[in-house]
Amino acid sequence: MNFNRRTLIAAASAAAFASAPFAASADGLPRNVRMVIGSTSTGGDTYQNSAIVAEALSENLGINIKVDAVGSTEAFKALNRDSRGSTIMIFHDQSYLGNLYGRQGYDDPFANYVVGPTVAINPGNAYLVPADSPYQSMEDILTAAENGERVRVAIQPGGVSEIGFSAMKNAARVRAPGSEENIVAVNTGSQSDKNQAMWDDLADVINGSIQANEQFTQLEDGDDKAMRFVWITARDATLGQAPEAGMGGTTRDDMLAYASPETSVTLDGTNDFTFDKEFFFLFNPDMDPAIIDQIDTALAEIYAAGDIQERQKESFFIPNFLPSAEATAHLTDKRDTYADVITAIAGN
């Protein structure tokens, strides 16, 4: 076989072309990055948030980032396989709540991965009752439990949807030990299933969200589908950053009335329980730390420019950039608090 100059140039070009996806850019991140997310939905909040962040990062770093909605199990597998930095992940509090609730497929993310920067909060996690419910507030619900009344709460078990339910049980325990047994879970699936559980009179309270359920709270009296908010789990400081007009017929002030401190679900008798659904990066533990620094720096520049905040707020997200070190400390504290809540009600 003869190797002439043309053959060698062609071979070198082909090799360069083939290795292009893996070639690192000047700052460490590969040119083509796959951002896996812990959701299989490309219409949900995780995808929307990730798409916004991926687009901004791509522009800032001059690389390609593709968001793949592979779901949590496959996302963790993909992250485990790749320490080069060509696979990174965005997910939310479900990543450690799944582990705390003992769900299969959820390792401890703090022990097995590197927790990266936070980027945004979805402040919408909420609990609702039928419009004609005897319960006007969380106070009524917890009092009913104290009085021996069984309160059924529709949730999707094992994560974000369950943590508010656990907090309700914990609050009942703190107020009147033993009354937490009267707050029982109705395990359902999607938001549609939770709504249906309410309409079928299988649940007295349902987990929902401001985004998905707000219009049901605006329905006229007598409509079987009508609902009322009783609790929004976000911190008041988070909700305070939402647009003043709020969403639909519910203003920001209306929302704040359903959140701590106006609506109190106690954590320990002194402080209120709150939960912000935060989106953050996860990295392979063996990935070059310089890549994490690169992402931190790029995000700091992006958030300093300010455009991404507008984009996030348009989709009812609260911008929440924290660099990796701060994010890890913050999320570790948060995880420890929720671990205490779950432990406190274990067996009830």
Partner 1 sequence: MFEFISPLFLSLIVGGTMVGIIFGSIPGMTATMAVAVCLPLTYSLGLENGLALLLGLYVGGISGGLVPAILLGIPGTPSSITTTLDGHPMAQRGEGERALKIGIVASLAGGLISLLVLYLFAPALADFAIKFSYVEKFLIIFFALTVMAALSSDMLMGIFSGFLGIFIALIGSYDISDGGNGKYRLIPPGTEYWLDGGFSLLPVLIGLFGLAAILDQAELGVPKGHSANDVKVTKANKFSLSVFRGQKTNVVRSSLIGTFVGILPGVGGSAASILSYTNAKTFSKNPENFGKGEPAGIIASESGNNGLTGGALVPLLSLGIPGDSTTALLIGAFTLQGIQVGPLFIGNSPETWNAMIIAMLIANIAMFIMMYFAIRYFAKIVTVPKHLLFPIILMMCVIGAYTINYGIMFDVWTLLIFGIFGWVATKLRLEIAPFIIGFILGPSAEVYFVKSLESFGDLTIFVTKSWIAVVLWLLIIGSIAGSVMISRKSKTRA
Binding site for partner 1 (CB under 8 A): 34, 40-45, 47-48, 51, 55, 68-71, 73-74, 77, 103-105, 156-159, 186-193, 195-197, 199-200, 202, 211-216, 218-219, 223-225, 247-248, 314-316
Q: CB nearer to partner 1: give 37 or 141.
A: 37
CB 294, CB 61: distance < 8 Å: yes
Residue 189 beta carbon to partner 1: minimum distance, rounded to whole angstroms = 4
Within 10 angstroms of residue 274's Cβ, the number of other Cβ atoms is: 23
Beta strands in 74-150 (DSSP E): 87-91, 114-122, 125-130
CB of 34 to partner 1, least distance (A): 8
Structure tokens at 257: 């009335």
**Angle formed at CA 168 by CA 167 and CA 172, multiple of 5 degrees:** 115
CA distance 36 to 170: 34
Is the CB of residue 227 less than 8 Å from the CB of residue 129? yes
Which one, 51 or 174, has the nearer CB to partner 1? 51
Q: In sequence order, which residues have a C-beta less than 8 Å from that of residue 307 and are 6 or more positions away? A: 56
Q: How far is the CB of 340 from partner 1 (least distance, A)?
A: 23
For partner 1, the closer CB: 58 or 264 = 58
Please, what is the minimum distance in Å from the beta carbon of residue 254 to partner 1? 15
Of residues 218 and 332, the one with the C-beta less far from partner 1: 218
Residue number with CB closer to partner 1 (63 or 247): 247
- The 8-class DSSP code of residue 266 comes to B
Task: Compute the least distance from the CB of residue 298 to partner 1, in Å.
Answer: 20
Comparison of 219 and 300: residue with beta carbon closer to partner 1: 219
DSSP 8-state secondary structure symbol assigned to residue 206: E
Q: Least CB distance from residue 44 to partner 1, whole Å? A: 7
Residue 252: Cβ within 10 Å count: 15
